[in-house]
Each structure stands twice: as C-alpha cells, then as structure tokens.
Amino acid sequence: MTQTKLVNTAHVKAREVLNTCLTSSGFRASALTKGYPQIWSRDNGIMALGISALGDSKLIEGIRGSLITMRVYQSKRGLIQLNVMPDSGEVSTENAGAVDSNLWYLISHALYFLDKQDTNFLLESWDSINRALQWIEFQDMNEDGLIEIPEAGNWMDLFGVRYNTLYDNVLYYLALRAYEYMARNIEKTKHHAFATKPTAIAERINALFWVDRCWHGGHFSEHLEKLKSMRLEWFMLYHNMGAISSRPFYLPWVGFREYGDFFDSFGNMLSILTGITNEHRTESIERYMHQVHISNPYPTKAIYPTIRPGDPMWREYYRSRNLNMPDHYHNGGIWPMLGGFEIAMLVHCKRFKEAQAKLVLLAEANERGIYNPWEFNEWLHGATGEPMGYPMQGWSASSFLFAEYCVATKRVPFFEDILR
C-alpha cells in the first residue's frame, strides 16, 4: 500500500470509529462495550479537536451532546465528572479525581462555539462554565497561581504525577484563554474574574518547571530570587535540585521538596502549541524528542525514560493489571492520541516534511491490531510497537484526523484561532 493510500484509508477508518462511538448523549470513549463505553469529558475534549478540523456537522453535534451530558451531571460544587455511562447515567468513582475533566470541558465549549458560533447554546451553558472554572480555581489550594492535583489525578490515571503538574497547568492556561475567547462573544453577560491571569500562569510555569542552572551564576541567582518572590516553597525546592543542574525540557511535576525527573510528552508538546515556551526552549524540547526517539517505532511515547522497579519514582501499584511496567501504558507506552499532538507541534514549528513522515507512521500505528487491522488501539508497547490496549478508541481516531488536517493545511486549528 502506498503512503498516500495508507493515509487516505486511515482517514476513512478513523471516521468510521468516530461514527461508531457516537450516541445521542455524545461520544463514548471507545466504540466497543469492552473498553471505555462511557462518555469521558477528557476524551471528548481531545476528540473535539479532530472533529472540529473535520467539519462533519453530524459529528460536531455529537460534541454538543457530550457537553450537555457533562453539564447535566456536573456537581453542585462545579466538578465535571470524569465519565458518565450514557445508558444508565452511572458516574464512575474508580479513579482519583481528575482535574483535567473541567479543563477540557471549558476547551470543548470554545471548540464548539468556534465551529457553530451558537451564542444561544453558549449562554445556556454559561453558568455551568463559570462554575466549572471556579471549581478549577479552588484546586489552587495554596493560592500560588498554579493548580495542584492528587496523585494520578489527570489523564495519567495510574501514574505517580502529582501536586503542581505541567500538563494540567498548561491546560489551565489554555482553558483560561478559551474562556476569554468565549467571553468576548457574549460581552453583556456576567463573566468570571480570574483568580490568576493566563500570563501569570505562563510565567510561573516557565519559572518553576524549567530548570537551567546556566554557567553564569548571576543569572541563576536572579532566577532563585524570582522564585522566592513568587513562593518561598519553590525557592526551597530548588535547593533540592542541585543534582540535576538543568534539563532540556519542562519537568513533569513539582511537589513539596521533590519533583519528577522524566520527559512528559503531552505537557511539553502542549507548552509549545500554546506558546508558553520561547524559541530556545522549543528547539531544546524538539531536539530532545528526536535524540531519544520518542516516536520510534511509532508516535508518541508518553514519557522518557521509563520508570523501573527500584527507581525512586517507582510505585508498586504500577504492577496493577501489568499496566505500568516499563514501556507499558503511561510508563513509556506509545499513544496514537499523543502522536496527533506531536504532528500538530511539528506543523506549528513549520517542520512540514517531518510532520508528513510522522503522519504516515501514525497511520501505520493505527492500522495495527490485536485482533483485526485498523483497530485505532489505545496504546502500543513502547519498544516493540505491538498494540496492547483497547481497540476502537475515539481519541486515537480523532487525533489522526487532527494531525492530517494540520499537515494538509500547514496550520494548527483552534490553537492558532484563539491564541493569536
């Protein structure tokens, strides 16, 4: 099969997966009962990116259905549920509280409005959106300007990320920018006053998560003073970071006198797509991803390097269902969903030939199956590339379509639309 035919076939098969995931209440996370038959706020937010780029009116209305479902089951305090079973309305409590459900809920509303310009629906949802945003701000429990999460409280729901996490705080920045975009279009309605402005969130991310003890001692001293002015806790943390000196990427999480020391693909790619990084840091992240073969054999591994038994960051619960052993699942497994974001990142950085080549690899990854071809599997083994997750994943299909659109148009929709 030629590369062009492979990509075209992937496009057709991806649309089939999304149509199979679609219900009257929104999109199931996966098309099969054995898998993720619930409507997940996070998955629907990511799926909305590809669906929006596709421009299919039937699927776009599915985004609306998902948003209505999430609004109906929103808690009194403003929490957007992690997932809801569309048939029974059952809300799962298996996982730790997921802060990113609320973040993707805001982002999804902006995506839907960008597509439909439906002011009436936005007004209908505005109170829910404001309560969801207020709930997010309450997750900044020490009022340092960044949100804190419980362990495993985001998309890495069986992994030891915790406290101030890169991924969630970059999404926090994006969600506030999405809110600003929506608010500009309903000016006469009461808007939520941000506890922390997006620019301040970006400033804190750059100060806290990027460790660069450069050769000029005065520069690092200035950085320490800046951290101290923001929060003394962060200044004290940096006294425990002497051993790592610097890293060519943003740290995945920062806690109380401790930090994660590995490359988090999703958080770093989002930091580039949202414009939080500068040119130097963007080049550093891209170079590192290339050097460690983050997309080999397929795009994209969740983290690098893997965490192994005996490592300080190892958790014994990683053995649960054999999921997070090295090169598995969040522990260095390959996620086609992430592959779509890597390709979008390459397009954003105008590396079009590399993006095209990775799109072909992503099509090949989605073609692979445990039982049948074109499974759009949840995740693949990080070393062998063999599929090991549940098949027919909506976000694997949608991320391919998102990446395909980015390559074809040489632009990244939504990000370029609301962040300009």
* Domain boundaries, given as residue ranges, for the chain: 3-210+247-418
What residues form DSSP beta bridges with 380? Answer: 334, 387
Q: Are strands 253-254 and 164-165 parallel, antiparallel or unpaired?
A: antiparallel
Give the fold, CATH level 3, of 3-210+247-418.
Glycosyltransferase (1.50.10)
- pLDDT, averaged per 10 consecutive residues of the chain (420 residues), comes to 94 98 96 93 97 94 97 97 92 83 98 96 97 97 96 95 97 98 86 95 95 70 80 80 78 93 98 97 98 98 98 95 96 98 98 98 98 97 98 98 98 94
Under the phi-then-psi rule, with left for phi > 0, alpha for psi from -120 to 50, and beta for the rest, what region is 316?
A: alpha
| C-alpha closest to that of 67 among 107, 35, 19 | 107
The predicted structure's pLDDT at residue 223? 77
Helix, strand and coil in the chain, % to nearest 5 = 50, 5, 40
| Residues whose CB falls within 8 Å of the CB of residue 308, separated by 6 or more in sequence, listed in order | 314, 326
The predicted structure's pLDDT at residue 196? 95
Task: Quickly count: other Cβ atoms within 10 Å of residue 105's Cβ.
Answer: 29
The predicted structure's pLDDT at residue 216? 63
Give CA–CA dist 32/365, Å, rounded.
19
Give CA–CA dist 396/299, Å, rounded.
11
Could you tell me the two tokens for 362?
Answer: 């992503």
Task: Quickly count: other Cβ atoms within 10 Å of residue 338's Cβ.
Answer: 26
| Residues whose CB falls within 8 Å of the CB of residue 13, separated by 6 or more in sequence, listed in order | 366, 374, 376, 397
| Residues whose CB falls within 8 Å of the CB of residue 369, separated by 6 or more in sequence, listed in order | 375, 377, 387, 391
Distance of CA 89 to the CA centre of its chain: 25
DSSP sequence for 281-329: HHHHHHHHHHHTTTTSSSS-BSEESPP-TTSTT--GGGGGGGTTSTTBT
Tell me: cis bond preceding 300? Omega within 30 of 0 counts. Answer: yes
Distance of CA 37 to the CA centre of its chain: 20
The predicted structure's pLDDT at residue 260? 94
Could you tell me the two tokens for 410?
Answer: 């040489």
Give CA–CA dist 399/62, Å, rounded.
16
pTM for this predicted structure: 0.96
Please answer whether residues 172 and 147 qualify as being in contact, where contact means their C-beta atoms are separated by less than 8 angstroms: yes
| C-alpha closest to that of 31 among 41, 20, 42 | 20
Look-up: residue for tokens 């920045």? 173
Please answer whether residues 272 and 282 qualify as being in contact, where contact means their C-beta atoms are separated by less than 8 angstroms: yes
The predicted structure's pLDDT at residue 6? 97
| Residues whose CB falls within 8 Å of the CB of residue 171, separated by 6 or more in sequence, listed in order | 100, 103, 104, 107, 270
Give CA–CA dist 337/366, Å, rounded.
10
Give CA–CA dist 393/336, Å, rounded.
10
| C-alpha closest to that of 408 among 341, 362, 343 | 343
The answer to whether the Cα torsion of 3, 9, 13, 16 is positive or negative is positive
Give CA–CA dist 204/211, Å, rounded.
12
Q: In 151-251, at which residue ranges do the beta strands (DSSP E only) sit?
A: 164-165
Amino acid at position 241, single letter? M
